[in-house]
Amino acid sequence: MFSDLFEKGTKASSDFFTGTVWVKMLVTDEDGIFDTQVYNVVFEPSSRTHWHSHPGGQILIVTRGKGFYQEKGKPARPLKPGDVVEIPPNVVHWHGAAPDEEFAHIGMSTRVHLGPTKWFGPVTDEEYKSAVEEK
Amino acid sequence: MFSDLFEKGTKASSDFFTGTVWVKMLVTDEDGIFDTQVYNVVFEPSSRTHWHSHPGGQILIVTRGKGFYQEKGKPARPLKPGDVVEIPPNVVHWHGAAPDEEFAHIGMSTRVHLGPTKWFGPVTDEEYKSAVEEK
């Protein structure tokens, strides 16, 4: 399994994630050489990010399982291994696992010099159920 | 196998690669939103890039097989799945497969606004053999 390429990492904060999510940093870019941070994220079933946006944008590469990506006010997009998601700067969105399946992606935060992620609170159970039903 | 996540893509030009190398673009970033390009590269055994450098740097995530990364004037670094290579701007280097094993990595060209890849000619058979022996 691809996700076995990386250690599971550390449990993500419940301040920004719902359910159990694991993050393994791959490139911290602390000195800003690449202006890009890279990480592997594993979502247990039904877990997900809070609503958030990135001033410099984000790219996801799905490596395992079934998940979803949703921009605020739009239908959710189902995700499968090999899918690539381009998230433009300042677009409020969430990503996470399907209700009954684990989900993993590599994430890249691009143009990080433009500032840190902005957070807008949990994706409620109602929002989540509505987004993933019949997908 | 992880590399099956992506189509094999198109054969890379012999102007810049030795042997058979396949490149599948994942994020072309033609409008410069992310300042980052992402691609999957599959190297057949013994194939490799020419010597080259990136004005904005490059990040590799190894997904399959056995390969090598070498900076000019330094010993080659053997690579296995899960390894991450941070290649600073303007460092002349090559990457490619072991003599008898396929090799695949995701590549990210970062800060692409700083300019295109610069190429410095083939890694000769002698340079390659010397780099990979006893590794």
Element counts in chain B: helices (H) and strands (E): 1, 13
pLDDT of A2 strictly over 70: no
- Helices (H) and strands (E) counted in chain A, each on its own, are 1, 13
**pLDDT tens-place values along chain B, 135 residues long:** 455 789 889 999 999 999 999 999 999 999 999 999 999 999 999 999 999 999 999 999 999 999 999 999 999 999 999 999 999 999 999 999 999 999 999 999 999 999 999 999 999 999 999 999 866
Long-range CB pairs of B73-78 (<8 Å, 24+ gap) are: B75/B131, B76/B131, B76/B132, B76/B135, B78/B135
Instruction: Name the residue in chain B with its Cα closest to that of A114.
Output: B34
Q: Which of A26, A56, A111 sits opposite B84 (nearest CB)?
A: A26
Contact A59 B5 (CB under 8 A): no
Domains of chain B: 2-132 (2.60.120.10)
Amino acid B3: pLDDT: 53
Closest residue of B to A84, CA-based? Answer: B26
**pLDDT tens-digit series, residues A102-113:** 999 999 999 999
Query: Average pLDDT over chain A, rounded to whole?
Result: 95
Question: Given this model, what pLDDT does residue B1 score?
Answer: 47
Residues of A with CB below 8 A from B41's CB? none
How close A54 comes to chain B (CA, Å)?
Answer: 11
Comparing A23 with B3, which gets the higher pLDDT?
A: A23
A63 contacts B57? CB cut-off 8 A? no
Residue B36 and residue A59: Cβ atoms within 8 Å?
Answer: yes
Could you tell me the two tokens for B3? Answer: 């590399």
**Which of B33, B61, B110 lies at the smallest CB-CB distance from A34?**
B110
| Out of A33, A108, A111, closest to residue B89 by CB | A33
Instruction: Tell me how close the Cα of A126 comes to any Cα of chain B, in angstroms.
Output: 32
Helix (H) or strand (E) holding B66: none
> What is the structure's pLDDT at A104?
96
pLDDT tens, residue by residue, A58-97: 999 999 999 999 999 999 999 999 999 999 999 999 999 9
CA atoms of A54 and A118, how far apart (whole Å)? 6
| Residues of B whose CB is below 8 A from A63 | 2, 5
Q: How far is CA B97 from CA B49, B94, B105, B112, in A?
A: 9, 10, 10, 25
Q: Is it the case that residue A3 has pLDDT exceeding 60?
A: no
Cβ pair B64, B104 in contact under 8 A: yes
Local confidence band at A134 (pLDDT 50, 70, 90 cut-offs): low
pLDDT of residue B2: 53
